[in-house]
Amino acid sequence: MSRPSLILAAAIACTCAACSQQSPNASAPASAASAAKAATAAAPASTAPDLGIDLSYLDKSVKPGDNFFDYANGDWLKTAEIPADRSSTGAFYDVFQVTEKHTADLIRNAGADNPAAGSNARKIADYYAAYMDTAAIDKAGLAPLKSELDAIDAIRTRADLARMLGSRLRADVDPINATHFNTEHLFGLFVTKGLEEESTQVAYLLQGGLAMPSRDYYLSKDAHMAEARDKYKTYVAALLKQAGIADADKQADAAIALETKIAQAQESLIDSEDVHKANNLWPIAEFSKKAPGLDWNEYFKAAGLVDVKRIDVWQPSAITGESRLVANQPLDAWKALLTFHTLNAAAPLLPQAYADLNFDFFGKTLQGTPAQQERWKRAVSATSTDLGDAVGQIYVQKYFPASSRAAAEAMVKNLVTAFRDGIQNLAWMSPETKQKAEAKLDTLKVGVGYPDHWRDYASLEIKPDDALGNHLRAVKFEYELAKAKIGKPIDDNEWWMTPQTVNAINLPLQNALNFPAAILQPPFFDPKADPAANYGAIGAIIGHEISHSFDNTGADFDEHGRLKNWWTPSDLKHFEAATDALAAQYSSYEALPGLHVNGKQTLGEDIADVSGLTAAYRAYHLSLDGKPAPEIDGLSGDQRFFIAFGQAWRSKIRDAALRQRLATDVHAPAQFRAETVRNLDPWYQAFNVQPDAKLYLKPDQRVKIW
């Protein structure tokens, strides 16, 4: 699901995790009524609950049936200003700000008691101190990169190039967008369960090699993309000049020309989302035959993968095409590209001139963000990323009490019960398919707040005066952890997000969900708030993540997380027809003049939004235990529920950032996610939406999936 900027899910990784209380499932309890009572009882008793929504945000001049996003958020939109150092603002940013402050306090105070050398607290304090020590960074200059740059300069043969490319293989794949490894590394490594395996973990090789956000930035004929390419050329040349590279303009041209060829070889975002195209286990000995051009023996040796027997090639045409480029493009072009990629990746931790050039392009040009974040914010973010579990452990100790975890777990249990009820009442689904769908709920593992086991950072060296080195060692540390998992049994309780992450995630391969502590706070979740608000906000988020197990990708995996068809032909036909209708619905939304949402690209998220909101609505009514919802401030329970959902997507974004997300993200823009309500019959009743309303859909046009 979500973050202030991205609201996530992907083909390999929609989520993960599990906590000490493994998920609610059929073998654990209970009737709908008992689960509902548990969710209600978990919150402290209150005769006057907080409303949980902000009535001052409503624009009552807008009819809910014409634009529900503006109705729920319109008065906020009129006055909200995006901070100068952000590309967007909204509900997720509000939660992020609170979390950022809490995390910053913990990180800054980590060294207060002079912790022992090698302890997590010492590593946190030293990492942050090194990042903040700009004098040491300026003094070091490019020295931390000297060995890497010298090795690139020393490339003389294709075997040398293969060794260099292999030595740079890393596993810093975003689990949210794991199939889209558009980074400086030619390929990316991701390790998790095999698509058809019940328990064994395999290595996945993914396309990469681009510094800009996606292949579209290199290939699209859109005028804005063309303008970005012009500014990119200026940036690449300027960065090379800053590093004292001879013939910087010529080197920049060569690097960009090669990157463009890499972009042409890559598969599209939509093709990358198709898990059926990704089931390609290649024996490691056959790579040279299947993808000729790259010296794979030298590559895998340098990558430390020579003992791996087979690797799943997620995008085979891209791997083949990029391998071919290794053989037929000039070595000097590869050296130019590798030099630029090395400098570009390190720029935020190099002297200020490098960081400024990097921000000017990636921040100002591509995101439309006027100002760079203060250094302490960047330091907190970097520390929280590279030492995620170390920071997360102290975060939950202070900011996530057991009572909040219990209340959230009770809500999850209620949502699973509601989802099960929805499956049982599907008129179009056969008993055979229903049985298989319920089996997925039976084995669903749900982690709430934080993992049971924390990562051990004992082998990660952190120095108080080596900011860039600390980061590079942390990235290498993650790579070694990933490699060590290959061929080992899957840990279904593994977390892929830190507790301080404002997001949630679903992993089809693990049939598991992960709800970090940071997202379980107002305005999304408050144990003292009106249940209508909690279910409309965090309830819809929880329902969204459950639904990912049954979206256009999740529905391809069985209860053991194996890629396996469990549908009858007629049920699958009905499901595909409904999802096609939803894709068409979202493709009709115009995000910017002449630029529409790609409904096929966002389909998985859209399915999860519709199905998750449906389950949340059902769960809300279960929580009432047969009693009518009270009217508060003139609003019925259903109205408060839907308003809470609309306000959860409260957002304002810069045009440049929105344009980037439309090209790279599998989530629809926030305003269209709020309009999910138009597919639910109760919304029409709650707001008396009539056929002349702009959002009105005839009953047979409302997409109902789960």
Residues paired with residue 514 on neighbouring β-strands, in sequence order: 447, 505
Determine the Cα–Cα distance for residues 706 and 699; give it in Å rounded to an integer.
Answer: 16
Gyration radius (Cα) of the chain, Å:
25
| pLDDT for position 167 | 97
pLDDT of 173 reads 55
Strands 445-449 and 187-193: unpaired
Low-confidence residues of the chain, pLDDT below 70? 1-49, 172-183
* Alpha carbons 674 and 643: distance in angstroms, whole number: 9
Q: How far apart are CA 173 and CA 171, in angstroms?
A: 5
Write the pLDDT tens digit of every residue in 544-601.
999 999 988 888 999 999 999 999 999 999 999 999 999 999 999 999 999 999 999 9
Residue 291, exposed/middle/buried by CB under 10 A (0-12, 13-18, 19+)?
A: buried
Q: In this structure, what are the phi and psi dihedrals at residue 644, rounded to the nearest 5 degrees?
A: -60, -40
Rounded Cα distance, 399 and 300, in Å = 44
Q: What is the pLDDT of residue 30?
A: 30
Q: Which residues pair with 207 in a beta bridge?
A: 187
Contact 280, 313 (CB under 8 A): yes
How high is the pLDDT of residue 199?
86
Q: Which residue's structure tokens are 């009106």?
A: 530
Beta bridge partners of 281: 312
Pairing of strands 310-313, 201-207: parallel
Q: What is the rounded distance in angstroms from the CA atom of residue 29 to the CA atom of residue 32?
A: 9
CB atoms within 10 A of CB 625: 13
What's the token pair of residue 262?
A: 């890499």
Cβ partners under 8 Å of residue 149, min gap 6:
142, 339, 342
**Coil/strand/helix, residue 157:** coil
Q: Which of 410, 492, 423 minimizes the C-alpha distance to 449?
A: 410
Q: Any idea which architecture 142-349 has in CATH?
A: Orthogonal Bundle (1.10)
Mind listing the pLDDT tens digit for each residue in 375-422?
A: 999 999 999 999 999 999 999 999 999 988 999 999 999 999 999 999
**Burial per residue of 421-454, b for 16 or more beta-carbon CB atoms within 10 angstroms, e otherwise:** ebbeebeebeeebbebbbbbbebbbbbbbbbeee
Q: CA–CA separation, 642 vs 332, rounded Å?
A: 58
Q: In CATH, what class is 14-36+63-93+400-453+493-701?
A: alpha beta
Query: What pLDDT score does 690 carry?
Result: 97
Q: Who's near 18: CB < 8 A, 6+ residues apart?
A: 445, 446, 447, 451, 452, 492, 493, 494, 495, 512, 514
pLDDT at 50: 80
What does the DSSP assignment read for 229-298?
HHHHHHHHHHHHHHTT-TTHHHHHHHHHHHHHHHHHHSPPHHHHT-GGG---EEEGGGHHHHSTTS-HHH
Structure confidence by residue, pLDDT tens digits, 34-75 = 333 333 333 333 344 588 899 999 999 999 999 999 999 999
Q: 606 — phi, psi (to 5°)?
A: -70, -40
Residue 569, preceding bond cis, omega within 30 degrees? no
Helix 352-359, helix 331-346: angle, nearest 10: 100
Q: What is the pLDDT of residue 647?
A: 97
Q: For the chain, what are the domain ranges?
A: 14-36+63-93+400-453+493-701, 142-349
